[in-house]
Amino acid sequence: MSCGNARVGGILPRKCFSGIGRQERLSPLLFYGKTPAGGCLVATLPASEKGAFRRVERGSLVKRRSGIEAEGRRPIACIIPPFLLERMAEAGDSAIRRRAVVDLAQATAVHAVRDLVRTMPSLLATPSPSCCRDRLIYDAGGSDNLPGRLVRREGDRRSRDPAVNEAYDHSGATYDFYSEVFGRNSLDDAGMTLISSVHAGEADGEGYQPMNNAFWNGSQMAYGDGDGLVFGRFTQALDVVAHELTHGVQSFTSNLVYRGESGALNEHFADVFGVLVRQWSQAGAAKRGRRKEGASTKDRKATSRSERSWLIGAELVVPAATRRAVRDMQHPGTAFVNDPLLGTDPQPAHWKDRYRGTADRGGVHINSGIANRAFVLAAEALDDEPWQTAGRIWYDTMLEIPSRASFADAARVTTRIARDDHGAVAAEAVREAWKAVGVKVSAAKRAAGAA
């Protein structure tokens, strides 16, 4: 993988080839890609990522087919975190284990070039011919050769394929949310075309298997069909689609570095707006239903607090007594508990319990739970819909926050924006929400923010 028009490379010791292959010699592990001028892009994998290759079974990781364009395999962020794939790679079921190993290898390769990709988001955008909502849905046909065959474009009739319709509808709902709530014109605020590939697959040495993930790669979305055992079709969940597309919004705004605290905030903002898109869309459907029945919608809340769901990916996971979703924003650490395949949700709900290790790029999918709970507490404390005051505060923060922001930065900026734009009550709600999860805004910094 590489940036611009470079072709996909792979992870390799010394010898170069196109694709991902098993590493018999693990040091040094390098990323290699050919540029249009014939030069090489080389990056060393961080030590924290090398363990993924040591744990896999012999023969499970194989060389990919050559000639896949970089646009096809340049994921910025995946919805399923690596620690879940690692857990599944240790499963007793050989089919689940095999799928997880292949997905984990792909995720490991992605991390080597993530920072290169984030430096040039505008070069990866496909402009809309109308500068308005424009969707293109492709069918990857179970392969990893993206985008695939064009099967539906903006304004076309519905397809017989539910995945095509879900990708079309959910990307449209995400566009409409950002447009109607925040006045934003697509991910780049300049009418960027929303491109999606459904039925994406991963090479496993004998052909292709359905991808057990969804990702945004800087220019398009790609969705796998899941394994049917733990995860279903990834287009099913609106919050998952909106989460991934929000990574696209971030690349044109805060562009948060995907490691440590800033990486956890990157995942946090994607979770926040993923859930808000779903809640907003559900509220609109409910209001339309009431109008159809002739009931008044004036002054009626779109959702009550008891009706709100703060789960991420509830429609995605195959139902089981031990799993409810991929993440729970309101109660981090409870989305899955003692699950035979996933284990127990590792997300902390408080800063004192934060993950301090190097896995998951410093806990980007783990520590995001702390900020997620802060947002829920703030949204529930305010007397309107979550996408209104709280959503606006967090959106404006996403536009302003620095790329290497810490949790303390996020707390300070959200509190200042709440005070300046929404008043003392909103500021107190936001400040208390961060305090409840162990992130405090000092009086000195509050005063500095007001200056």
Q: Which residues are catalytic?
A: 244, 365
Helix axes 424-436, 368-381, angle to 10 degrees: 140
3-state class of 88 per DSSP?
helix
Angle at 263 between CA 147 and CA 217, to 5 degrees: 5
Using CB atoms within 10 Å of the CB of residue 303, give its burial: 0 to 12 exposed, 13 to 18 middle, 19+ buried.
middle
Between CA 417 and CA 413 the distance in angstroms is 6
Question: Comparing C-alpha atoms, which of 369, 363, 377, 364 is closest to residue 348?
Answer: 369
Is the distance from CB of 393 to CB of 386 less than 8 angstroms? Answer: no
Is the distance from CB of 17 to CB of 34 less than 8 angstroms? Answer: no
- Encoding tokens for residue 81? 């975190």
Exposure string of 166-198, with b = 16+ CB inside 10 Å and e = fewer, is: bbbbbbbbbbebbeebbebbbbbbebbbbbbbb
- Encoding tokens for residue 95? 């089919």
Is the Cα dihedral 293, 295, 301, 304 positive or negative? negative
Per DSSP bridges, beta strands 327-328 and 311-312 are: antiparallel
Residue 12's φ and ψ, nearest 5 degrees, are -155, 155
Peptide bond into 28 cis (omega under 30): yes
Radius of gyration of the chain (CA): 21
- Encoding tokens for residue 306? 């008891």
Going by C-beta distance under 8 Å and a sequence separation of 6 or more, which residues neighbour residue 264? 362, 363, 364, 365, 366, 367, 368, 370, 371, 407
Between CA 328 and CA 6 the distance in angstroms is 38
Angle at 180 between CA 174 and CA 186, to 5 degrees: 50
Going by C-beta distance under 8 Å and a sequence separation of 6 or more, which residues neighbour residue 178? 184, 186, 187, 249
Is the distance from CB of 102 to CB of 56 less than 8 angstroms? Answer: no
Is the distance from CB of 152 to CB of 168 less than 8 angstroms? Answer: yes
- Encoding tokens for residue 326? 């991929």
Is the distance from CB of 75 to CB of 53 less than 8 angstroms? Answer: no
